[in-house]
């Protein structure tokens, strides 16, 4: 469908009210239990019209553009020029040359390129801009879209050397997923004739060497240089690498395909009828869903999936796309919304990046949809047997990331309509203190963390006599996962706790710990036994549970809920109280505001072992 048709369609949709907003109080969004629209129809008739209007607004308003109250060019989005370049490139290329809009779009693109050439544009923005220039060159429109003087400036500025040390090919203060960005930039520069192939080949080798070194025997990328943080990026990175190889027309080695298959094996047992993605770690919410989309699409393209898996991956992708428009996109603002309706995301994805997030997310859907179309799924109805296939998935899956001095893994459990994850993945600086990295159970719309949030969510926090605050976050060892019938038991020890207050974990061996989780249908329990060294006093202990349930009544350590998926929360070893939450910023999850907070504490000092346990019951 051409852009000019999309613009007319958008107006018709707005009049008809065909794109409803999801109620803000629903923490999960729609359930696609039955039929769902083919992915290509969602992209062409719902997403692209909205993107076309957004692009038209940008072309008209330029530096003065405002989106949902944000002056987008005053918002310090360091990727924005590149995202604009690639987003508008799709618009220009899709507009027929004999359409009167074509000349207008090209002239406006040229003006915006001149206007933004000296704006900050880093890493991902460099990649996006290089991709846009390649697209325009292939379409024969580069000379019309970008002036020679601006192109000369871009050639100098759009360089991987701005974030990689050329002498040893190491990243400059960036997490490891940026190796793939650097390779992509170098390869695009080669395709543009700006440099030879040697840098891209060296960066690809470096990317794969680093992946090999820090993924170890299990094939998942450590986000740090060996400190053991495994999150969404650890699973997504090989998908991003695979897509960059696909874009560059380069083959994926058997090793790359094997790594990609590891990510697929983690994801398949987590598929669900709602299109929900990662529930733990950073940059989740809608990006937790596109992570699944990117990995599964790359796996389908590279022949890593069986025919049945490919059909189910497409059925899930169609649900992810529908969810984006039904749940994440707000027609009132013509924008994705990760910040309103009680939602909260990581600070670096704040609302100041609203335009860039619309463009980058839209691009992910456009290019993954193009791959599914190429694979024969264009306008194809998703397999009606998807739910039956979900019902046959294993109820318990254990995925190891690392074993040795400390253990890292995620346990995935399926219980009725819930996918429950227990991630033990926390190490390295920057995130260890934040709730999305806690070794606690997560389940969308039922058990969630708060982006950048620091409070003792389902995790006892100790205060010692000297004021030090310790939490059992980063030093799990000897993890055992045992299954018997419908019960799953996870146990581990920590002979050091994490002393809070610093950017990186600080090991404190004054208190040791043994932890046991038990998962049964409708029930989760955790028991901690803290053992202080002789002479060490535990001055106080606190614990919290921010949930989506309401109408709470607490007596002693037992809380009953009248609404929501969680029906009860029982704590032993602490005294508790519960209060209602009214969309408080400190207790907003990626998908919506939590509605109640149970706070538990014990102030009596002790020098002996302390046992604290909790039990959650749910529908």
- Residues whose CB is less than 8 angstroms from the CB of residue 578 and which lie 6 or more positions away in sequence, other chains included: 552, 553, 554, 559, 596, 597, 598, 599
- Please report which confidence band the pLDDT of residue 226 belongs to, taking 50, 70 and 90 as the band edges: confident
Report pLDDT for 25: 57
The whole-chain average pLDDT of the chain stands at 93
- Tens digits of residue pLDDT in 419-461: 999 999 999 999 999 999 999 999 999 999 999 999 999 999 9
Q: 400 and 385 share a domain?
A: no
User: Whole domain around residue 606: which residue ranges?
Assistant: 396-618
pTM, to two decimals: 0.94
CATH number where 357 lies: 1.50.10.10
Q: 211 and 169 share a domain?
A: yes
Three-state DSSP string of 518-582: EEECCEEEEEEEEEECCCCCEEEEEEEEEECCEEEEEECCEEEEEECCEEEEEEECCEEEEEECC
Query: Tokens standing for 150?
Result: 């601006």
- One DSSP character per residue, 137-172 reads HHTT-HHHHS-HHHHHHHHHHS-GGGTEETTTTEES
Average pLDDT over residues 227-232: 94
Q: 585 and 550 share a domain?
A: yes
- Please report which confidence band the pLDDT of residue 18 belongs to, taking 50, 70 and 90 as the band edges: very low
Torsion of CA 40, 44, 46, 47, to 10 degrees: 90
Q: 292 and 419 share a domain?
A: no
- Please report which confidence band the pLDDT of residue 2 belongs to, taking 50, 70 and 90 as the band edges: low
Domain boundary among 367, 391, 415: 391
- Please report which confidence band the pLDDT of residue 215 belongs to, taking 50, 70 and 90 as the band edges: confident
Query: Tokens standing for 143?
Result: 């000379």
- Tens digits of residue pLDDT in 26-68: 789 999 999 999 999 999 999 999 988 998 899 889 999 999 9
- In this model, does residue 82 exceed pLDDT 80? yes
Q: 353 and 441 share a domain?
A: no
Q: 160 and 242 share a domain?
A: yes
CATH number where 429 lies: 2.70.98.70
Q: 409 and 552 share a domain?
A: yes
Query: Tokens standing for 434?
Result: 């934040």
- Tens digits of residue pLDDT in 101-116: 899 999 999 999 999 9
Give the number of domains in the chain: 2
Domain boundary among 391, 407, 436: 391
Average pLDDT over residues 507-511: 98
Report pLDDT for 214: 85
Q: How far, in Å, are 92, 113, 146, 193, 267 from residue 110 at the CA level?
A: 11, 5, 5, 21, 42
């Amino acid at each position: 469908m051409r852009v000019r048709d999309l613009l007319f369609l958008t107006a018709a949709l707005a009049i008809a009210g065909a794109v409803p907003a999801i109620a803000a109080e629903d923490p999960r969004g729609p359930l696609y239990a039955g039929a769902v629209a083919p992915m290509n129809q969602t992209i062409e008739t719902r997403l692209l019209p909205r993107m076309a209007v957004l692009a038209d607004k940008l072309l008209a308003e330029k530096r003065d553009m405002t989106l949902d109250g944000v002056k987008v060019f005053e918002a310090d989005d360091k990727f924005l020029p590149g995202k604009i370049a690639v987003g508008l490139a799709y618009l220009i290329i899709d507009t027929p040359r004999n359409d009167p809009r074509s000349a207008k779009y090209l002239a406006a693109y040229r003006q915006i390129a001149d206007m933004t050439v000296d704006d900050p544009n880093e890493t991902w923005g460099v990649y996006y801009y290089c991709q846009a220039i390649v697209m325009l060159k292939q379409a024969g429109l580069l000379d019309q879209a970008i002036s020679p003087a601006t192109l000369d400036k871009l050639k100098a500025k759009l360089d991987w050397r701005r974030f990689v040390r050329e002498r040893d090919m190491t990243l400059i203060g960036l997490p490891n997923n940026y190796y793939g960005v650097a390779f992509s930039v170098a390869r695009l520069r080669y395709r543009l004739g700006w440099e030879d192939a040697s840098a891209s080949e060296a960066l690809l080798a470096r990317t794969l060497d680093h992946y090999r070194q820090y993924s170890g025997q299990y094939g998942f990328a450590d986000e740090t240089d060996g400190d053991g943080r495994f999150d969404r990026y650890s699973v997504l990175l090989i998908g991003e690498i695979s897509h960059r190889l696909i874009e560059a027309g380069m083959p994926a080695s058997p090793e790359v395909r094997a790594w990609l298959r590891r990510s697929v094996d983690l994801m398949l047992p987590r598929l669900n009828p709602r299109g929900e993605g990662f529930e733990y770690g950073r940059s989740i919410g809608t990006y937790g869903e596109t992570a699944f989309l990117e990995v599964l699409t790359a796996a389908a393209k590279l022949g890593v999936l069986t025919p049945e898996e490919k059909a189910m991956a497409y059925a899930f992708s169609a649900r992810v796309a529908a969810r984006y428009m039904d749940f994440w996109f707000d027609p009132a603002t013509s924008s994705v919304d990760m910040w309103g309706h009680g939602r909260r995301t990581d600070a670096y994805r704040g609302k100041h990046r609203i335009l860039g997030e619309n463009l980058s997310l839209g691009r992910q859907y456009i290019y993954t949809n193009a791959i599914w179309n190429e694979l024969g799924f264009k306008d194809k109805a998703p397999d009606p047997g998807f739910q039956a296939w979900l019902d046959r998935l294993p109820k318990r899956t254990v995925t190891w990331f690392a074993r040795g001095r400390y253990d890292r893994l995620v346990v995935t459990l399926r219980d009725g309509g819930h996918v429950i994850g227990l991630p033990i993945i926390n190490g390295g600086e920057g995130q260890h203190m934040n709730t999305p990295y806690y070794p606690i159970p997560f389940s969308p719309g039922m058990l969630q963390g708060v982006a950048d949030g620091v409070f003792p969510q389902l995790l006892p926090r100790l205060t010692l006599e000297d004021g030090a605050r310790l939490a059992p976050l980063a030093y799990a060892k000897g993890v055992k996962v045992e299954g018997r019938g419908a019960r799953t038991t996870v146990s581990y020890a920590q002979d050091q706790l994490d002393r809070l207050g610093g950017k990186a974990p600080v090991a404190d061996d004054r208190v040791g710990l043994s932890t046991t989780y038990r998962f049964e249908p409708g029930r989760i329990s955790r028991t901690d036994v803290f053992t202080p060294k002789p002479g060490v006093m535990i001055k106080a202990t606190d614990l919290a549970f921010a949930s989506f349930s309401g109408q709470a009544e607490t007596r002693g350590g037992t809380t009953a809920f009248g609404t929501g998926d969680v029906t009860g929360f029982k704590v032993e070893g602490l005294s508790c109280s519960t209060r209602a939450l009214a969309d408080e910023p400190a207790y907003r999850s990626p998908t919506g505001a939590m509605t109640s907070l149970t706070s538990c504490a014990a102030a009596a000092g002790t020098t002996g072992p302390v046992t604290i346990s909790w039990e959650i019951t749910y529908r």
